[in-house]
Structure 1
Amino acid sequence: MSKITLEHGLCIFIVIMFLIPCGMIVLISQEAAYVQIAGNPIEDAAQLTGITVTSVKDKTWNLPGATGGKIYVLADQDGNTLTIETQAFDSADARDAVVRSYNAHPVGRGKPVGGLVVIGQTVVYATPANSPILAKIVPVLKEKAGILPQGK
């Protein structure tokens, strides 16, 4: 009788050890909503945080579904600079494919050094990822997109 109970207990333990991590992954991870964000979120966030936009250029990434974007160079009063590239996509699938591709590679092996944030239909790539300017702008961008801060 105790052998049967021990085997049942072991089976339950193994099942729980598998289900808890899988359940946490499903509950914690969430896909960013595909919504059209009006206006220019980078310039708006820079203005709200007191960051200066020193340069803006148009650029379209050579990726399926990319509809156009911009390259921004931002600077603050302390002399820090940040380069931000934005790219809008025509569908959530195209946008999410770019994010999956970015996250699939380690840094230096196809993955550039920088930070990636999704805001609505737009992918925002910033370098350097540890910039104090980025730390100021990301919460404003997430708030503008209706995404409350979940970490960087």
Structure 2
Amino acid sequence: MALTLREEHGLAIFLILMFLIPCVMIIFVAAEVPYSTVSGEPVKDAAIAAGITVTSVKDSTWNLPGATGGKTYVLSDTAGNTVTISTQSFDSADSRDAVIRLYNAHPVGRGHPVGSLIVLGSQLIYVTPANSEILNEIGPALRNRLK
């Protein structure tokens, strides 16, 4: 069964559009988070506001260029869910964005961690596991910090 010339053109256009549409959607839907200094401990504040228990907090600094320090939190809720959240501040938008590009450069299982990376001003917030109910509970309070 051979395709006619018209069908071949239609198939080629369809394949091109199937590639271009997701690329265009990513460009227009993905919002850049402006670099601004974040004060205080937004994760701890969001957890307390949502009624989540902060089980432990310790200082941590990621071994990455421009990292200036952050915290690692272990949070738990009344349902028994536990999540580890690490935050890290960066000295510039360029150093923060370089880490984001590095994170997104690897597919999961090939050097890409399995958690979620959230951008909050000058901070990156890394949540493990990514599908935790706790993240859904503290998410609105973190989003309010962006405004």
- Whole-Å Cα distance in 2 between the matches of residues 109 and 21 of structure 1? 23
SS state at 1:129 partner = coil
Shift of residue 62, structure 1, vs aligned partner: 0.5
- Partner of 1:28 in structure 2? 29
Shift of residue 120, structure 1, vs aligned partner: 0.6
Please list every run of 5 or more consecutive structure 1 residues that lacks an aligned counterpart in the other structure: 1-9, 147-152
- Partner of 1:129 in structure 2? 130
- Partner of 1:115 in structure 2? 116
- Whole-Å Cα distance in 1 between the matches of residues 23 and 85 of structure 2? 34
Shift of residue 139, structure 1, vs aligned partner: 2.2
Please list every run of 5 or more consecutive structure 2 residues that lacks an aligned counterpart in the other structure: 1-9
- Partner of 1:72 in structure 2? 73
Residues 2-151 of structure 1 correspond to what in structure 2 (within 5 A)?
A: 17=17, 23-146=24-147
TM-score, structure 2 as length reference: 0.83
Shift of residue 122, structure 1, vs aligned partner: 0.3
SS state at 1:39 partner = coil
- Whole-Å Cα distance in 2 between the matches of residues 136 and 85 of structure 1? 17
- Are residues 20 and 76 of structure 1, via their aligned partners in 2, closer, same or farther at CA, if it must alter by over 3 Å? closer
Shift of residue 28, structure 1, vs aligned partner: 1.6
**What is the RMSD of the two structures over their aligned residues, measured on CA atoms?**
2.0
Shift of residue 30, structure 1, vs aligned partner: 2.1
- Are residues 133 and 20 of structure 1, via their aligned partners in 2, closer, same or farther at CA, if it must alter by over 3 Å? closer
SS state at 1:58 partner = strand
TM-score, structure 1 as length reference: 0.80
Shift of residue 23, structure 1, vs aligned partner: 4.6
Q: What is the percentage of aligned positions where both structures have the same residue?
A: 61
- Partner of 2:6 in structure 1? none
Letter aligned with residue 144 of structure 1: R
- Whole-Å Cα distance in 2 between the matches of residues 31 and 62 of structure 1? 24
Letter aligned with residue 60 of structure 2: K
Q: Contact conserved, 1:37 with 1:145, CA < 8 A, in 2? A: no
- Are residues 57 and 28 of structure 1, via their aligned partners in 2, closer, same or farther at CA, if it must alter by over 3 Å? same
Shift of residue 36, structure 1, vs aligned partner: 1.1
SS state at 1:97 partner = helix
